[in-house]
């Protein structure tokens, strides 16, 4: 297999989210969802990876792997367990964790919202209530005051399009609604939250004397294709699906440009509200009619049944860059592979796309660092570079994690690496 070198400016990292790894009985919406019996597997968020207690062990493993940057989230429900009440112990805990990763030479990238809401916030209407923009900004302000001297890189909101469609269009996430009008309202409110948070983070860190602030969102991007490439109607369905799921959303969040189906719920000037384009990429949808999420039998798939389509990363990077030409951070890219039988091949293929790209790709965050609690599927789906035995909490770096470590070390994939780690791996169909 061929080797390749990576762009000199590219940083290689990994990513996780607080609710999926920390454990503990925290009053957030997904813990409430679990209490109501809405998870498929019967697993519990109170266990997860016990990262709240084992964070130093996990950061030591990252350091040993050479991880250059780590994208992680803080848990809003820990920091603000009651409306307007902030937990100084939780804030100190996160500060200690961030300080330690910086001491190990790992650049922190802090995500402020990653799918979970405090229960009290949800009971006030959550992001479906435009009045809650101020509530979110209060939390953002506390985070910047608490961590702004340690962190220059911020993702305000992770995958707002997934959060809205999965939670408000009958896809099984909390709050379990099924109303496309509410989907539009939630996305529009979240866009306002991002724009105002972008402004506030810059303003606050500038007052602290910092000029290196970088803020963006992580937008879930999918490649789309007609099931029948000769069908004009299906191609039109592709265009509608792409626009509604990500195109219109990207323009609102990144540019303050609210075009249907988005709605403008405040006074936002058209501007650029990001220093980087955060892209989370996993799969391609085939479409017959708008809104379809179809796969073809012959296509390679991961353990979720999602198509594995590496070239889609190039397609979505170009799509977002054409909307807003800013440096690209691949803030998530990973594969569900319980046996770690094709994850090295997946890493090889995705990084090869970046190596060939002429676009300014600055960061690649592999999802995920460890196996973690995969939302509705609990402990049953594994994405990690590091295996977690959920009964003993023992961590073991997988073969794919060893491959990634060598890639970081050499900033390249050599032919020898490809032969040792990738040759012989195949995706399932």
Per-residue pLDDT at 42: 83
How many other CB atoms are there within 10 angstroms of residue 318's CB atom? 14
Would the pLDDT of 28 be above 90? yes
Q: Beta partners for 46? A: none
CB neighbour class for 95 (10 Å; exposed up to 12, middle 13-18, buried from 19): middle
Would the pLDDT of 429 be above 80? no
Residue 67, both tokens: 């991880």
Q: How confident is the model at residue 70 (pLDDT cuts 50, 70, 90)?
A: very high
Per the CB < 8 A criterion, the answer to whether 329 and 365 are in contact is yes
Predicted confidence (pLDDT) per residue in 369-414, tens digit: 999 999 999 999 999 999 999 999 999 999 999 999 999 999 999 9
Mean pLDDT of the chain, nearest integer: 97
Per-residue pLDDT at 157: 98
Give residue 243's region: left, alpha or beta (phi > 0; psi -120 to 50).
alpha
Architecture (CATH level 2) of domain 4-422: Alpha-Beta Barrel (3.20)
How many other CB atoms are there within 10 angstroms of residue 249's CB atom? 24
Rg of the chain (C-alpha set): 20
End-to-end alpha-carbon separation of the chain, Å? Answer: 22
Handedness of CA 79, 250, 287, 348 (dihedral sign): negative
Q: How confident is the model at residue 1 (pLDDT cuts 50, 70, 90)?
A: confident
Residue 72, both tokens: 């992680």
Per-residue pLDDT at 26: 97
Q: Where are the beta strands (DSSP E) in 214-324?
A: 214-226, 277-287
The Cα–Cα gap between 331 and 13 comes to: 9
Would the pLDDT of 51 be above 80? yes
Predicted confidence (pLDDT) per residue in 306-365, tens digit: 999 999 999 999 999 999 999 999 999 999 999 999 999 999 999 999 999 999 999 999
Per-residue pLDDT at 387: 98
Predicted confidence (pLDDT) per residue in 167-216, tens digit: 999 999 999 999 999 999 999 999 999 999 999 999 999 999 999 999 99
Give percent of the chain with pLDDT exceeding 70: 100
Predicted confidence (pLDDT) per residue in 207-244, tens digit: 999 999 999 999 999 999 999 999 999 999 999 999 99
User: In the chain, where are the structural domains located?
Assistant: 4-422
SS3 387: strand
Tokens 């810059």 sit on residue: 202
Give 111's DSSP letter. E
Question: Whole-model pTM?
Answer: 0.97
For 191-211, letters b (16+ CB in 10 Å) and e give bbbbbbbbebbbebbeeeeee
Per the CB < 8 A criterion, the answer to whether 194 and 161 are in contact is no
Predicted confidence (pLDDT) per residue in 85-118, tens digit: 999 999 999 999 999 999 999 999 999 999 999 9
Give residue 282's region: left, alpha or beta (phi > 0; psi -120 to 50).
alpha
Per-residue pLDDT at 289: 97
Per-residue pLDDT at 237: 98
């Amino acid at each position: 297999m061929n080797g390749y070198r990576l762009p000199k400016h590219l940083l290689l990292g990994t990513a996780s989210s607080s609710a999926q790894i920390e454990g503990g009985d925290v009053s957030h919406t997904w813990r409430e969802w679990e209490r109501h019996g809405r998870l498929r597997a019967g697993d519990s968020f109170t266990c997860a990876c016990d990262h709240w207690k084992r964070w130093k062990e996990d950061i030591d493993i990252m350091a040993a792997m050479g991880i250059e940057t780590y994208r992680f989230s803080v848990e809003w429900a820990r920091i603000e367990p009651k409306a307007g009440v902030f937990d100084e112990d939780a804030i100190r805990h996160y500060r200690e964790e961030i300080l330690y990763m910086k001491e190990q030479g790992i650049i922190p990238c802090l995500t402020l919202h990653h799918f979970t809401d405090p229960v009290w916030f949800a009971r006030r209407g959550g992001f479906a209530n435009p009045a809650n923009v101020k509530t979110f900004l209060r939390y953002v302000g506390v985070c910047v005051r608490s961590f702004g001297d340690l962190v220059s890189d911020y993702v305000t909101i992770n995958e707002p399009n997934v959060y809205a469609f999965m939670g408000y269009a009958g896809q099984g996430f909390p709050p379990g609604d099924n109303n496309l009008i509410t989907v539009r309202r939630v996305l529009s409110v979240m866009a306002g939250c991002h724009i105002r948070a972008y402004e506030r983070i810059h303003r606050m860190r500038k007052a602290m004397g910092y000029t290196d602030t970088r803020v963006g969102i992580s937008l879930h991007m999918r490649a789309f294709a007609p099931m029948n490439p000769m069908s004009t109607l299906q191609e039109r369905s592709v265009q509608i699906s792409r626009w509604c799921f990500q195109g219109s959303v990207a323009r609102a969040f990144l540019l303050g440009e609210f075009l249907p189906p988005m709605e403008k719920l405040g006074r936002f000037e058209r501007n650029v509200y990001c220093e980087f384009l955060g892209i989370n990429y996993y799969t391609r949808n085939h479409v017959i009619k708008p809104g379809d999420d179809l796969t073809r039998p012959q296509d390679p798939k991961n353990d979720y049944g999602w198509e594995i389509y590496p070239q889609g990363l190039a397609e979505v990077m170009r799509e977002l860059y054409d909307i807003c030409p800013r440096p690209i951070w691949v803030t998530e890219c990973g594969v569900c592979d319980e046996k770690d039988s094709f994850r090295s091949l997946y890493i090889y293929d995705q990084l090869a796309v970046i190596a060939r790209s002429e676009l300014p790709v600055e960061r690649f965050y592999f999802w995920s660092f460890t196996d973690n609690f995969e939302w509705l599927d609990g402990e049953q789906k594994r994405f990690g570079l590091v295996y977690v035995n959920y009964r003993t909490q023992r961590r073991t770096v997988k073969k794919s994690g060893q491959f990634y470590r060598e890639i970081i070390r050499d900033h390249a994939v050599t032919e020898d690496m490809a032969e040792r780690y990738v040759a012989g791996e195949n995706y399932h169909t």
